[in-house]
Structures are given as structure tokens and as C-alpha cells.
Structure 1
Amino acid sequence: MIAAHKLKRWYLIHKWTSLICTAFLLLICLTGLPLVFREEINHWLEPHHYVALPADTPTANIDRMVAAARAMYPGQSVASVFIDDDEPQVMVWMVPSFEVMRADPDAIHFIRFDARTAQVLETSLPESEQPNDFIDIMLALHKDLFLDLPGELFLGLMALLFVIAIVSGVVLYGPFMKKLPFGTVRHERSARVKWLDLHNMLGIVVMAWTFVVGATGVMNELSTPLFGLWQRTDVKALLASYHGRSMPEQGDLPSVQAALETARHAVPGMNIISIAYPGNPFGSPYHYLFWSKGDTSLTSRLLTPVLVDASTGQLSAVIRMPWYLRLLEVSRPLHFGDYGGMPLKILWALLDVITIVILGSGLYLWLARRKHQSERLARIVAAHQRQPWVEPVHEP
């Protein structure tokens, strides 16, 4: 049994954490709904068409595609290569120079190739000149409110308040609902009471899901500082022995295809999806940085970086990510529900809609309570004004 003063404290915690974060959580839930289906929406808005080839057609040589990209944009640098494991495409990302990229990451643009034929399928403008599509807008609002790191940290705080509101709501559920059967909604009572019962019932039913999504949301919003911490500690220590070495020019780099085969041999059973070129601000000045991932639904979110020396083409290291980045990687599929196919996405969307109802009903209950208190105060004042004023009588 919770003492009355502790119960009041938990009530105040639940009330104020909920009120502070509700508007932003509603925005996050509304933008998160289309993001659950972002792959399907992107394919619908921008369908990609490929020539019909046998399913076992091998991927073309990456060197060939990189050479074609450099020939199309002479004087520019290759920043990275993306190897899609869902569609037969390879994207070579180019920048005017790495100095420009450091000053303006949106100066990057891509050339998209058919992975099997090395045929150019599409070229893009720099990202700074591209209009944001629907999913871009939803993702920016969901992630950082178009405010970059400050927005990420702010929404991370809102997600943390949401988690606290969930915990405090669970603490309050038992004492407030102990006299009613589970799931009771008193339809015969006022609208405020009906919505209170619905709010409590839905909240406790989806409590586990909202807690997981809220906690993983906090982790996702911390991704930028966590990766920054990793680069300043583990990566810096790993590259310390290379200090003083000159960074190779792109024309002198060893074959990226050969380096790719070296990386694949170092992480058998994993898929290489990305290659950061030497000098890329998000990579190493002295290495090809390969990002590999597992080949199952869950391990596809667990990334392992591989470094291949950009002077010799030899394997330098297979980097084991620290625990906090592993935790971050595991949190991402739990947050978006995109690792179990369409049935799981539909379930995630339904739970998201229920959460929107919970947040909306919580806001309604607070406004209705304030209105009820205001009307009650008005009645008291009106009743007092109707009473005649009696002059006190003083005894002689």
C-alpha cells in the first residue's frame, strides 16, 4: 500500500512529465507513423526500374563504377560507396573536396549505378540543392525538428520524460483502479470519467511497448554524441600509430574492389554495405573504412567496421564496437519495428495509433479538469455574491 503523500508525489510526477512532453510526443508519434512504412512509401514515390537479369547475376567490379563516376566529375573526390543489399544498385557519392565537405556536408551528391551492369541510372544534385521529400520532412521532424544536435538532445529529453511518465503511470494504476475490474470503462458516467478510464486502460495495455519505444527513442537521439565519443576515444587511439603519415591521393589508392574482397574475407557471413574513402571526415585519413552488417533480420542492425590500409591494401583491423554503440544498434529496430516484415510494421503502426489516443486523451483530461475547476470556482463566487452582506452587531 502506497502512503497518501507518496501517491500524491507520484501523481505530480506523472502529471507534469506528461504535460511537458505531450505536444512533442504527439508530433513524434504522428511523424513516426509514416516512418514505419518509409521503405514502401519511398518505393511508391520514387520507383526504381532495372533491366531483367537472372537472380544470380554477380555484382560488377566496383573499380569500374568508381572510375566512371570520377570521369563524369573530374577534379572531384569520391567520398563513399553504398552497396544496396535490397536492390541491385550501387551509389557512388562525390564531393568537390573533403575540405568543402567538412564545411558543408550537404555539398555531397551521388551517381547511381545498376550493380550488375555498371550502367549509370541516375545522377543527383548536391543535397543542399535538393528539395526535401515527404519522408525527409517526417524524419527531420521526428529526429531533430530541423535543429540538428540541439534538436536531437531536446527530443531525447522529451522521450526521457515520456519514460518517466510511463513508470509513474504504472505506479498510479493500481491504487486508482483497484476497485474496478481490469479494462472497465464507465460509459454511464461523464465524458471526463469515460476518457479517464479509457486513458488508464489503453495506457496499461500498451505499457511495455511504449516503454521500449520511449527508451530506445532516448538512445537514438543520443546517437550523434555517442558516435562522437567513440571517434574521440577508440578510433583516435587506433589511428595514433598512423600519425605523421601522408594521406594518399585518390589517384594513387589501391583497388577498392580488392580492398572490398579483403574486408569480406575478414568478416565472413556479413554483408559490406558502405565504403568510406580515405580522407572522408566520417572515416579514416589512412584507410578504406568498410561497414558490414549481419545477414539476418536482427543482426542486420549490428554493424562491424573494417579498416583496410589505403597504402598497401592490407587488412588493418576489424573493429569491435563498444557496448553503448551495440546497445544503440539493437535499439533501432526495436524503435521502428522494421525487422519483422509487414506484419510487424502493421502491429507497430496500430500501437502507435493507440499511443496517439493515450496522449490526446491525457491532454483532454488535463484541459477538462481545468475547465471543471474554473466552473466550480465560478459557482462558488456566484453563490457568495448572492448572499446579503450583514453588518456585524457590536454589543454595548
Structure 2
Amino acid sequence: MNGIIEPATVKKSLSAHAAIGLIAGALLYIVSLTGTIAVFYQELQRVEQPYAPEMTLIAPGAVQRGVEAVLASEAGQPTTTHLYVHLPDGELPRATITTDTQAVHLTQDGSIAEPEEIAWSDFLVKLHYTLNLPALVGITIVGILGVMMLALAVSGVVAHPRVFRDAFRLRARNSNGTGLADWHNRLSVWTLPFSVAIALTGALIGIASVTAYGIAADDYEGDVEAVYGPIFGEEGEADPRPAPVPDVAAALAHMSLEYPDLHLTYAILHDPMTSGQHIQIVGEHDRRLVFGEYYTFNADGRFEHMAGLADGELGQQAAASTYQLHFGTFGGLPVKLAYLLFGVALTGICATGTYIWLGKRRRRGIEEPRLRGAWHGVVIGTPIALAITLIARMVFGNDFPFAIAFWIVLVVAVIGGAEIMKRKADGRVTALSA
């Protein structure tokens, strides 16, 4: 071949290059759409399991009885490393205990009511967080997608110097795609602060996890919790010797007495029923973006210290603020509705951006009906796949393989869309040549 690459090889390479771009765009679209829906994670739990006991408050003594009952139910099994008590609040007025092996709802007197069954809601959040891949791999990819989204937002503004001046200019859609491009650019301008905030916090959450694993491997013998300790509080020395159930009621009573203005969201037991156990209470502060402050108690319920997320180092406060800013869990329903509106717009930006890119290639003479059809499959197939898994949850219950079903439906939609568009293109060519 004397160093000359065959035209067919070049064409295949360009198609492969475009396909890779399409995959990146598809993942951005999926993450944007699932993130928009996941803003209503608490509300979705109530829809998914509507008859679980609900309450506005639960007494410290009732929480203690619930903790004791759950730990007693796990007697003879390996000791759970962490036990979480979700305390009822306005968005999710339920008391729920989660361990390494189970999750149950409590009645108001602390009795175990029924298992928590929110598998579809959890599937949705995992799809957004990790694309249903192994945790470290998935969150790394999603973090990279956050960096890509941030780069696209900034470069889009730089590449269109008149984008702010033309913020409300919309041209009619035509064969050149100007109307679609205008909608893409207008939505990008209108949602720019939101897009930057979501992309930046998403990138921080994803990349921070990878960084933590790397630091842990190099400096802490793989102990990731030791890396996060200076920010979110130290775990303490492990001591596996048996010990009685810790006094969660005393810790909650102390919080009610000393911090009556705080809204308590979680009680966390670290290494329960061992001599190394301790208790953390998470309290939300009004008018703050931090997800809460950790108040640490010993096993007897005696207060020891705060982690400093609310008033510690600036880096601590910033780290504790990324979650609420990313997921819109501050400010109640008005903020969630705003995140819904902006999230739909951001999802639309992801969809139209790829259509514009494919249109430009088409106008340069690069006909790729399969790629266009595949993108139709992504845009239409993703919400359809989510809807099918939700219907399956209602019909078949909590144990349905949601992740497998979602990806099968989406792959079928993509392949089907590609094949349909290819056949249409072949039909047009045949008609023209006849």
C-alpha cells in the first residue's frame, strides 16, 4: 500500500470516531435525565412503597427500641459495620434503619414494621451515580462526564461571543438546523449557572472518590475512611470485643436539649455492639448548603466533639456543600421544582447538541444514517426504558432486575433505531437510482 491508507479504511475510522463521540453524548444524556428525576428521590420512595408507616417525629426511646430490635434480629450473623437510622423529616416522614444486610421501617413506638422496598428508586440513583457499573469504575466515568459537561459549557460560551446578546433570538427551523441550534444555544445561556454548578459538583464528587482511593492505596494501606477522616470525622480505633447496644436515646436527648433549633436527619452507629463503637448524629443547619454537621458521642451517649462541617475549615464546608448543591436537596419543594425545570433543559441541551453535531457532519457530505438512528434510540429509548422498569416494579415487585432490563431495552432501542434509519436511507437511494 506504500503508506497510503485506503479510503474505505479512513471512512471506517471516521465512523468509529463518530461512534465514540455518540457514546459519550449518550452517557451525558443518561446522567442528565436520571439526575433530573433523582431530585425527587424521597418522593419516589413514597410512591414506590406508599403504605410504610409515616410520622413527623419519633421519640429517642422509640429509636433505641428500634435499634435494639434490628441488632437482635441479626444475632448470629457477622456484626454490621454501620447502622443508619433515618429520622423522619418533611420530605420523607419515615423512620428507617439500614444495616449492612437489611433495611426496615419502624412504627412510631420503635417496633419493626416491614422491610424497606425501594429498589427502583435506588436503581435510579445508582444509574445516575455509577451507570450501574462497579462503584469505583462507574463514579470515575461519571466524574469525567462532569468535567466534559463543564468544558462544554465554558467552551460553548467562548465559541459564541454573541450568545448572551442573542439570548432571546430564535430563528425558524430549516434544513440548515439553525432553529435547533438557536434552541440549544438559548437553553445553554438560560441554564448556564445551573449547568456549571451541576457539572462542577458532579465532577468534584466523582473525581474526589478516585483521588481518595489513590491516596488510600499509597498512604493508608487502602483505608479510604482514613482519607476522609480529616474532613468528615475520624472513625476511631476498632475494637472487636463484644459490648452492649450503645445508648442512642441519650445522644438524641442531648441533641434536643443542647441544639433544639437543629433538624436531625440521621443517627449513625459505627461498629455497633463492639468495644470500639461510637455514635454520630447528623444535624442540618438552617440557611446552609452543608448537608449537616456530625455530632459524635461515645457508646454511653456522652457528647465528644463536632466534625466541623458547619463551622470548620473552608475546605470542609465546601466539601460538605457539594452534595446538596448537586442534588437540590436544600430549600424544599420550590428548589426541587427549579432543579426539575433546569434539569429538563440541560437534558434537552445534551440531546440537541448531538443532533446539531450529526447535522453538521451530514451537511459536509458525511451520511451516517445508522448513527442518527442510534441517537434517536438513545433520546427516545432512555425514558421508555425507565418507564418500563418502573412499571415492572409495580407489577413484579422489588426483586425485579431493573438494571439488566434497562440496558437491554436501551440497547434494543439503539440497534432498532440504527437499523430503521439505515433501511430508510437505502430505500431513498434505491428510489433515486430507479
One fold, TM greater than 0.5? yes
- For the pair 1:215 / 2:205, whether they are aligned, the reply is no
Q: Equivalent residues in 2 for 1:179-328 (5 A)?
A: 181-187=166-172, 189-222=174-207, 224-225=209-210, 231-233=225-227, 235=229, 246-251=239-244, 253-262=245-254, 269-279=261-271, 286-296=276-286, 298-299=287-288, 301-310=290-299, 313-321=301-309, 323-328=314-319
For residue 35 of structure 1, the aligned residue among 30, 38, 45 is 38
Distance 1:57 1:146 in 2: 34
Cα-to-partner distance string for 1:108-135 (whole Å, 9 max, x where unaligned): 1134221x312321146xxxxx8x7322
Q: Is the 8 A contact 2:52 2:105 kept in 1?
A: no
Q: Counterpart in 1 of 2:387?
A: none
Q: Is the 8 A contact 2:242 2:274 kept in 1?
A: no
1:31 positional shift = 0.9
1:255 positional shift = 2.8
In angstroms, what is the RMSD of aligned CA positions?
3.8
Q: Counterpart in 1 of 2:47?
A: 44
Q: Counterpart in 1 of 2:110?
A: 118
Distance 1:154 1:284 in 2: 37
Distance 1:195 1:46 in 2: 41
Name the SS for the 2:278 alignment partner.
Answer: strand
Q: Is the 8 A contact 2:239 2:274 kept in 1?
A: no
For residue 160 of structure 1, the aligned residue among 131, 134, 147 is 147
1:205 positional shift = 2.0
Q: Counterpart in 1 of 2:131?
A: 145
Alpha-carbon distance change, 201 to 63 in structure 1, aligned in 2, over 3 angstroms: closer
Distance 2:357 2:206 in 1: 28
Q: Is the 8 A contact 2:264 2:284 kept in 1?
A: no
1:354 positional shift = 1.6
TM-score of the pair, normalised by structure 2: 0.64
Q: Is the 8 A contact 1:278 1:289 kept in 2?
A: yes
Distance 2:271 2:240 in 1: 7
Q: Counterpart in 1 of 2:417?
A: none
Q: Equivalent residues in 2 for 1:100-139 (5 A)?
A: 107-114=100-107, 116-123=108-115, 133-139=119-125
1:151 positional shift = 1.0
Name the SS for the 2:172 alignment partner.
Answer: coil
Name the SS for the 2:109 alignment partner.
Answer: coil
Q: Counterpart in 2 of 1:91?
A: 96
Q: Is the 8 A contact 2:250 2:302 kept in 1?
A: no
- In structure 1, give the amino acid aligned to 2:242: E
- In structure 1, give the amino acid aligned to 2:76: G
Distance 2:315 2:266 in 1: 22
Distance 1:371 1:276 in 2: 56
User: What runs of 5+ residues in structure 2 fail to find an aligned partner?
Assistant: 1-17, 216-223, 368-434
Q: Is the 8 A contact 2:87 2:95 kept in 1?
A: yes
Alpha-carbon distance change, 284 to 346 in structure 1, aligned in 2, over 3 angstroms: farther
TM-score of the pair, normalised by structure 1: 0.70
Q: Is the 8 A contact 1:91 1:111 kept in 2?
A: yes
User: What runs of 5+ residues in structure 1 fail to find an aligned partner?
Assistant: 1-14, 95-106, 125-129, 377-396
Q: Counterpart in 2 of 1:104?
A: none
1:146 positional shift = 1.8
- For the pair 1:367 / 2:370, whether they are aligned, the reply is no
1:33 positional shift = 2.5
Q: Counterpart in 2 of 1:342?
A: 333
Name the SS for the 1:320 alignment partner.
Answer: coil
Q: Counterpart in 2 of 1:382?
A: none
- In structure 2, give the amino acid aligned to 1:289: I
Distance 2:28 2:234 in 1: 41
1:363 positional shift = 0.9
1:93 positional shift = 3.8
1:159 positional shift = 0.8
- In structure 2, give the amino acid aligned to 1:277: L
Q: Is the 8 A contact 1:196 1:365 kept in 2?
A: yes
- In structure 2, give the amino acid aligned to 1:199: H
Q: Is the 8 A contact 1:112 1:122 kept in 2?
A: yes
Alpha-carbon distance change, 352 to 50 in structure 1, aligned in 2, over 3 angstroms: closer
Farther off after superposition, 159-168 or 285-294:
285-294
Cα-to-partner distance string for 1:62-86 (whole Å, 9 max, x where unaligned): 3332333344343344641404132
Identical amino acids, percent of aligned pairs = 20
Q: How many residues align?
A: 331
Alpha-carbon distance change, 134 to 191 in structure 1, aligned in 2, over 3 angstroms: farther
